[in-house]
Structure 1
């Protein structure tokens, strides 16, 4: 059985291993989620043959922007002639990211690794003639970065798959279950070989919307993965059999009501490399999005789209380097922290230490005026600017001796101590944070 929230976050379930039953309880899930909870930042990599023409990954032929035949001609132009997985891993390390996720296979069915389940892979069908994923994972692990595998459950190139988005031009699952079983053996075979040879720390599934958990055999897929790595983490796109939820592109306006979540977002407007898309997010925009995610208890999985030759566009390199420099300076307020103050206590993002005795307040660059904290029922022992150590002196106003309502805390932030993107204030408290949540009065 499975019990889950409306957003598919697993609470607990029982899976069958032969005749045995293994119960996965919330504590087991929580134990393996520790590194993910503390990681905060991952880098997503959409690498595929779609970078040859710089078009939408898989969707371009589905949406009839290009014919399927012309789309697949891109196989001939995918070279990886300048691909250096060590350079990629160095850049990801420099960004401050604790994990990276790369496409092993998108909806087009082209495997980016040396699959034995099909000839449709870049080792056999492209001039690259090499496995892209394994050497990248090897380099990540040398740098103590967790490895994630994106895998599309749907495969629009496989003749045994029903079709595009329930298009019945091939067949309906209920009318030809033998054919569907052949496809299930194929995609589960790919998952098995990835689990055996690449041993991902995290699985990032996509495409689950086209079929039910029963049709995918989602419980079995989870069992395949965990039988090879009991600590593997699975995203929320396995029809309810994942460990965390994944909003895409759009940031939650209110704090999500579940334990683990991850915002996946592009640096410009597209996942893969598209040279015509020059709508690059600035380092400031990326940092503010990142901070908002962390302040609300989540992670950011920031996407980049490499070119067909294996190089990363300069604009993406610049953003990752700037993000990395900011993380190096302000990382104590990000990594290993937990969600900050509830809305209304501070007009901005915040995090706090795991023991709740330190608050971190995030202030956009060139802020003019005085900062304010409301409802903080603590004594402030010290306020410093993270990264330069400048000390600030708070002023408490409106505190009445006979009232339980705490005063307002005002903090002046001089311009000369501000970061060029976002300044972080470290507020040391006398004890774990205590907040007044009342309506004022006596």
Structure 2
């Protein structure tokens, strides 16, 4: 494994000298389109931090030293973990891919890493490779698998200089950052050679080394992350593997999709995201309550209606929706999450055609809702409206027909150069999650 990595890194360093522009392989471009078509994925934050029931940042937030945190793996024995249950739950909810934390900021790997013994096989009584079990089941059920991998590491001694977080772990104030990057690339090589085709790598933690805390859009860091070297390694191992980085700035060379944390593209209510929206495929991620990892005190559960609305709005913003669960330390997913996802699945089974394979529609977000589009059809998603009549701005192309998606009943249309007036037989019910009007256009409509 180390010889393979050394050979790859030498090849990539020579290539990087001569090549400055990333050109996606044909299979990568095809994977990007398929990713945009998929629209809905399951995010999973799970690791030894789940034992403490206080989220995935517990090591940093409670300032737990490495020597004490290292005691946790001995208690991590998720005997109730069932890969088939997890994947079936995601599939029944209408999700097309799963993104799981292979290594979070605490540095603990939930797979069988050969470059370190700080992993689930060597340090826990469970001694099973969770990612192998999940990868096998995802292939069996036709679900794509992505790996979240943290750039940041609160455990590794060579993660130095220290960034903004993890500064109370008791590590010596020294280290070789280039050695840490080689360690990270070795783990990525393991993930991309031992688990079959991987849909993508979801990076996080680059922001830990940002130079300017006040300027959130800065692309400068205290260290050279060697992003291009790592990205080229990934694309060399699996050309179709998509790379995204939750760095909160505009995409870097070599990235294949852009993500937005807890906000729709262009929005920044949480203060994480750049306002710059690239031409890459887009994704937004959000949690089912307020936490990413298991938090026993967080009961602020989002309703199925709220989750569907987020999915619809994401699609209308031309983005995927990656919805997170934080499984319990025993390997089970909270019943509140399972119930909500089941209810979301009932909606996607009936209305998924208006989401999957679509792009953002010709009418951008309004107070009443949003539109999606596919070929010559526009889907008007009415999320918050109590009138029979709805007025849209002018649309490109002529409307051939209009009908309610649910029962195919006709909707009256008045179209002019000033706009479009849609009149339904009845006003949307307050209990309806989403009233959808399907417009058939004379030709493929312009999309965002």
TM-score norm. by structure 1 comes to: 0.84
Q: Which residue of 2 aligns with 1:77?
A: 75
Shift of the alpha carbon at 1:115? Answer: 0.4
Alignment of 1:204-223 (within 5 A): 204-211=202-209, 212=221, 215-223=224-232
d(CA) in 2 for partners of 1:301 and 1:294?
Answer: 11
Shift of the alpha carbon at 1:347? Answer: 4.3
Q: Which residue of 1 aligns with 2:321?
A: 300
Question: Using a 3 Å threshold, how does the CA distance of structure 1 residues 22 and 427 change in structure 2: closer, same or farther?
Answer: same
| Match for residue 404 of structure 2 among 351, 363, 385 | 385
Give the paired residue count.
407
Between 1:373-382 and 1:122-131, the stretch displaced more is 373-382
| Match for residue 426 of structure 1 among 430, 435, 438 | 438
Equivalent residue of 2:135, what SS?
Answer: helix
d(CA) in 2 for partners of 1:17 and 1:98?
Answer: 35
Between 1:358-367 and 1:194-203, the stretch displaced more is 358-367
Question: Using a 3 Å threshold, how does the CA distance of structure 1 residues 407 and 165 change in structure 2: closer, same or farther?
Answer: closer
d(CA) in 1 for partners of 2:15 and 2:49?
Answer: 39
For residues 228-276 of structure 1, give each alpha carbon's deviation from its aligned partner in whole angstroms, at most 9, with x where no partner exists. 1111100034782422221111334569632221111111000011111
Instruction: Note if contact 2:79-2:331 (Cα within 8 Å) is conserved in structure 1.
Output: yes
Instruction: Note if contact 1:294-1:339 (Cα within 8 Å) is conserved in structure 2.
Output: yes
d(CA) in 1 for partners of 2:366 and 2:432?
Answer: 25
Alignment of 1:116-127 (within 5 A): 116-127=114-125
Q: Which residue of 1 aligns with 2:290?
A: 269
Equivalent residue of 2:258, what SS?
Answer: coil
Bigger Rg, structure 1 or 2: 1
Alignment of 1:34-433 (within 5 A): 34-57=33-56, 59-64=57-62, 66-162=64-160, 164-165=162-163, 167=167, 170-171=172-173, 179-199=176-196, 200-211=198-209, 212=221, 215-237=224-246, 240=252, 241-252=254-265, 257-259=277-279, 260-343=281-364, 347-353=368-374, 355=375, 357-364=376-383, 367-376=386-395, 378-386=397-405, 388-396=406-414, 399=416, 405-414=417-426, 420-433=432-445
Shift of the alpha carbon at 1:19? Answer: 7.9
Instruction: Note if contact 1:365-1:420 (Cα within 8 Å) is conserved in structure 2.
Output: no
Equivalent residue of 1:151, what SS?
Answer: strand
For residues 347-376 of structure 1, give each alpha carbon's deviation from its aligned partner in whole angstroms, at most 9, with x where no partner exists. 4211011x3x21101122773432222213
Between 1:371-380 and 1:134-143, the stretch displaced more is 371-380
For residues 342-401 of structure 1, give each alpha carbon's deviation from its aligned partner in whole angstroms, at most 9, with x where no partner exists. 338894211011x3x211011227734322222135433222222x3331231427x5xx
Equivalent residue of 2:134, what SS?
Answer: helix
Shift of the alpha carbon at 1:148? Answer: 0.2
d(CA) in 2 for partners of 1:193 and 1:22?
Answer: 26
- Structure 2 runs not aligned, ≥5 long: 1-11, 210-220, 268-274
d(CA) in 1 for partners of 2:53 and 2:80?
Answer: 17
Instruction: Note if contact 2:362-2:446 (Cα within 8 Å) is conserved in structure 1.
Output: no
TM-score norm. by structure 2 comes to: 0.82
d(CA) in 2 for partners of 1:26 and 1:192?
Answer: 19
d(CA) in 2 for partners of 1:344 and 1:23?
Answer: 35
